[in-house]
Structure 1
């Protein structure tokens, strides 16, 4: 089933879909809303009719480091299929991003994925002096390529965008406001948008309850996505801005990302209703 190899990429796309084109003026006063050692884990679930498959786990971590003598955050994401499904479709996906500690602009991005025997190695080096991105890509069915792309303003890689979005002050938006999004993916820039749908109380499958902000996301139409606003995200209505639930319709069924655990959050998870 081809959709399974999209879980990690999907979760990244879902979370990054709040990145605003105005880059910095709408950041929360609590910036940054995460700290060294933060770890967040999600289950990746596929649903088709009465079929529910808990098919994988995705973990996001934050650490402080240096990148070419610049202070940086190191963001890592590792996704894996459950061992019980490895015989059918084995997934081992790894994403890494180094980003500036003050702006979260990316310095370097790497995507190293192995999905059902199909491998992708994608590296991006961001040069802000010359406004260029140097890319190196190798895929199982394609030859190794090197390319140079003109860097557009306010663009993020998938992973740095995830963390930048959590720092936006969403209280400045009204219901049905559209927020522009610009991402770099597979050597192309995409200008998308997210629509703010207001606040909502969310009850999770593990019997937890949260105050959340709800968004819909305009997706890129492709092999698994229908395109349009068929994706919904519920984010904690507190200083952490953590996605609690992601729900996306695909060509066959839907996929969901559900929060499992959090460690070393910078702020209390005050959105949870006890």
Structure 2
């Protein structure tokens, strides 16, 4: 179950501030978010997201790295260490390259995907070249884009944000429904948050479409504060424990 949770959590961890009218900035150093994952009262895992400037083929890009792994008893029973990386354009926020490095028990999977924007194609190390829709994202870049252009005070309750992504060597439609505002008590204080419900497929782990919830700070940072999963076997929660901003403002502003 924790393996499934870390997979889902990779959809949800974001770390940029957004402003609808200002350009992307590239002079700041970066930021780092840390999360702890609990199943009931038991601490089962932790996750970390780092964002920094980097270069691919001599071009400056943003580089996001998300890691999630088991700890304690969960690590003894079923060891998980997953890493997702995204390199994306500083102006368009569209991905140039994505990496998925999975280690779950005896299962291992590594794949790199590059994006050709002129041809609207991806090139996967595992499955080769495929045609894809224009503007498609990987999982991490999708959220940076969504927060830059969609997650803001103009959202209306009930509104659904949709984004087409490429994940685990297939296209995946990502959907979030805005549910309004809530105050969340967290390790870093009481925070006013946007509340979203990702629209998930029922039957395997979820009983209802609204069994997964995410709270994002309704401030200039707009970081995920809490992610909660109401599963068949109980409730599982991911909480922000530390937010380190190495600059006077976040890297991406739109």
| TM-score, normalisation: structure 1 | 0.80
Q: Residue 71 of structure 1: CA displacement?
A: 1.5
The answer to whether the 8 Å contact 1:178/1:194 transfers is yes
Q: Residue 61 of structure 1: CA displacement?
A: 0.4
Q: Distance in 2 between matches of 1:83 and 1:36?
A: 33
Q: Distance in 2 between matches of 1:226 and 1:149?
A: 34
Q: SS of the counterpart of 1:13? A: coil
What is the aligned counterpart of 2:191 among 201, 210, 233? 210
Q: Distance in 2 between matches of 1:207 and 1:147?
A: 44
Q: Distance in 2 between matches of 1:11 and 1:31?
A: 28
Q: Distance in 2 between matches of 1:266 and 1:82?
A: 30
Alignment of 1:52-71 (within 5 A): 52-71=41-60
Alignment of 1:138-157 (within 5 A): 146-157=127-138
Alpha-carbon RMSD: 2.5
**Pairing 1:240–2:221 present:** yes
The answer to whether the 8 Å contact 2:13/2:49 transfers is no
Q: Distance in 2 between matches of 1:267 and 1:92?
A: 32
After superposition, what is the alpha-carbon deviation per residue over 1:52-97, rounded to whole angstroms, capped at 9, x for unaligned? 2211111100111111122201111122211553321111111111
Q: SS of the counterpart of 1:29? A: coil
What is the aligned counterpart of 1:43 among 36, 46, 59? 36
What is the aligned counterpart of 1:97 among 86, 106, 115? 86
Alignment of 1:54-133 (within 5 A): 54-133=43-122
Q: Residue 223 of structure 1: CA displacement?
A: 4.0
User: Which stretch of the first structure deviates more once superposed, 177-186 or 57-66?
Assistant: 177-186
| TM-score, normalisation: structure 2 | 0.86
Q: Distance in 1 between matches of 2:196 and 2:25?
A: 19
**Deviant stretches of 4+, over 6 Å:** none
Distance 1:32 1:216, change over 3 A: farther
Q: Residue 29 of structure 1: CA displacement?
A: 2.6
Q: SS of the counterpart of 2:136? A: coil
Q: Structure 2: give runs of 5+ residues left out of the alignment.
A: none
**Pairing 1:162–2:156 present:** no
Q: Distance in 2 between matches of 1:207 and 1:98?
A: 29
Q: How many residues align?
A: 245
Give the structure 1 partner of residue 170 of structure 2. 188
Q: Distance in 1 between matches of 2:194 and 2:25?
A: 16
What is the aligned counterpart of 1:29 among 11, 15, 21? 21
